[in-house]
A = this chain, B = another copy of it.
Amino acid sequence: MRKVVKKLVNRKRSPFFTLRPLFAKSIMRRFVADKAKTLINRSRTTCSSSFPPPIITSTSVLQRLTSSSSSSSQSTAVLRFLSTSSDSMASDYSSTPVTLNNVNPKVLKCEYAVRGEIVNLAQKLQQDLKENPGSHPFDEILYCNIGNPQSLAQQPITFFREVLALCDHPLILDKSETQGLFSADSIERAFQILDQIPGRATGAYSHSQGIKGLRDTIASGIEARDGFPADPNDIFLTDGASPAVHMMMQLLIGSENDGILCPIPQYPLYSASIALHGGTLVPYYLDEETGWGLEVSELENQLKTAKSKGINVRALAVINPGNPTGQVLAEANQREIVEFCKKEGLVLLADEVYQENVYVPEKQFHSFKKVARSMGFGEKDISLVSFQSVSKGFYGECGKRGGYMEVTGFSPEIREQIYKVASVNLCSNISGQILASLVMSPPKVGDESYESFAAEKEGILSSLARRAKTLEDAFSNLEGVTCNKAEGAMYLFPRINLPDKAIKAAEEAKIAPDAFYARHLLNATGIVVVPGSGFGQRPGTWHFRCTILPQEEKIPAIVSRLTEFHKLFMDEFRG
């Protein structure tokens, strides 16, 4: 690492990243200190290069999906590193009642790498840059760890924000100045929405499933998308897709004998939620060789193995378009998956939050409900939950925490249970509910906002497609790196063939080799990616997830910087 940064420091600077040699030493010292602390502080788990057996119980989900090392010991070490605390400080809490020995073990076992150790380190570096500009060989932290478009300067869709503002402060709807500030159709839409809310009360708890009128709009949007009926009573509005996934896991998981088939690699919400609810993650591996293909034979094998171990597999989770893998499923493949769930009596949990993020002309998004209905499976034939979110799409409104799940194929008795669990949290936030209705019913041709809306949408989507292609090419050109095509979603998940020397150095540092790479990358360039071990990967393979979201004008600098870093890293560890 020391060598990598020194070499970077001495090279020609890219326009975007500025290296400051004087400060390079300080991060070196800090990084070495960090490594030392990691080594010293904890050795609760030992480094192991063996990969988990196919079935992973909640007692070890991410620890075992992580190909080596313990991420929990890592993150603890980082926390200590980040805080001003020392071991002696921790002992000051000896008279407080909650300790690692008596905290809920399911919480301890849960891992969530998207905001894990690397991100903590990034926040620390960001703070450093703020307090001591020039303290690191880069000017800013580039968060490519998380699909958070607006954090990387993507602007919100104007029409959506106009309507939200008017619903937040309806008193201005009738004022003349409002006409000058807002589009006519946003004003009209705000009136329509307010009329759908009992008493126009945007500050009241709604029905536990969300405001009925907004669910009507969403159901119409689903019908228009699929060409099959949708029932507003099937819609549960939620604070983003994550709480919806938790709700379904809560329903399905009663003990560690209940298993959920999850893709590997997977978005770690699934492993985290299964761990928190005490279930068993039954992995099925996506096939990297065929562009992260989903093979039904693999599902069958894993299901059979799970059953032979006494696991009662309840559901199949499918992420389409894929996260972190970016593939868009072919319709024929989806039909096989539906058949499989029907035959095996599994609930199909369809994570369809990237349904509007498809970047290649040869692929198209089809909802699993449309596919199932087109196969002739009706409401009572298959249990299917589709998750949607306002955080993704071209709008990327992550901070609004809006989303919904469409729940079909459950008996009234079970629906009652889902309703009850939704009720305990009262309702999701009304702005998020409104936004969920807007993304499913955007301006139409002829509306005042239509042209600017269409231009904003097209601008974002075409830029994302270009960024995806440029980054994909850049990763593919790196020594020892192969990169999937980003057909959809917001991520690339390149595979790195790390040299033995790097793997050995990582083992010595008690971190996963891909985390070792990601940490080096961050310290040298400010770019934050998530190690593949946070998502699960085939034994002995190493990846990282990088979003395609940095601003387009920054992409060339990122590519050159990344290329430069990678070359130096390989030079140092090629052995």
Residues of B within 8 A of A61 (CB): none
Copies of this chain in its oligomeric complex: 2
Spot the interface stretch: A250-258, A297-305, A351-359, A535-543: A250-258
The reply to whether A105 and B254 form a contact with Cβ atoms under 8 Å apart is yes
- Judge whether A89 is part of the interface by a CB distance below 8 angstroms: yes
Within 280-304 of A, Cβ neighbours of B (below 8 Å) are at: none
The answer to whether A177 touches B181 (Cβ under 8 A) is yes
A468 contacts partner chain B, Cβ-Cβ < 8 Å: no
Bound CA span A198–B180, Å? 29
B205:A346 contact, CB within 8 angstroms: no
Query: Known contacts being A381-B95, A424-B110, A424-B272, is A203 close to B150, with CB within 8 Å?
Result: yes
Give A397-413 interface residues, CB cut-off 8 Å to B: 397-401, 409-413
- Which chain B positions have C-beta within 8 A of A254? 102-106
**Is A430 positioned at the interface, with any CB of B under 8 Å from its CB?**
yes
Contact between B242 and A425, CB atoms less than 8 A apart? yes
**A253 CA / B251 CA spacing, docked (Å):** 18
Question: For the complex, is A575 an interface residue (Cβ under 8 Å from B)?
Answer: no
Tally chain A residues at the interface, Cβ within 8 Å.
116
Chain B, residue nearest A249 (CB): B104
Q: Mark A187-225, 1 if CB is under 8 A from B, else 0.
A: 000000000001101111111100000000000000000
**Cβ-based interface call for A59 (8 A):** no
CB pair A423–B201 under 8 Å, yes or no, is no
Q: Decide if B380 touches A421 in the complex (CB within 8 Å).
A: no
> A residues engaging B (CB < 8 A)?
75-76, 79-80, 83, 85, 89-90, 92-93, 95-100, 102-108, 110-112, 114-116, 123, 146, 148-153, 156, 158, 161-162, 164-166, 168-169, 171-172, 175, 177-178, 180-182, 198-199, 201-208, 239-240, 242-243, 246, 250-254, 258, 269, 272-273, 276-277, 312, 314, 345-347, 380-383, 391, 396-401, 409-414, 416-417, 420-421, 423-432
In addition to A104-B252, A400-B429, 5 A-B residue pairs with Cβ atoms within 8 Å of each other are A75-B416, A102-B314, A110-B421, A158-B171, A172-B181
Of the A-B pairs whose beta carbons lie under 8 Å apart in the complex, a sample of 11, sorted by A's number, is: A75-B420, A76-B416, A79-B416, A98-B314, A102-B254, A107-B417, A151-B205, A152-B199, A161-B171, A172-B181, A206-B399
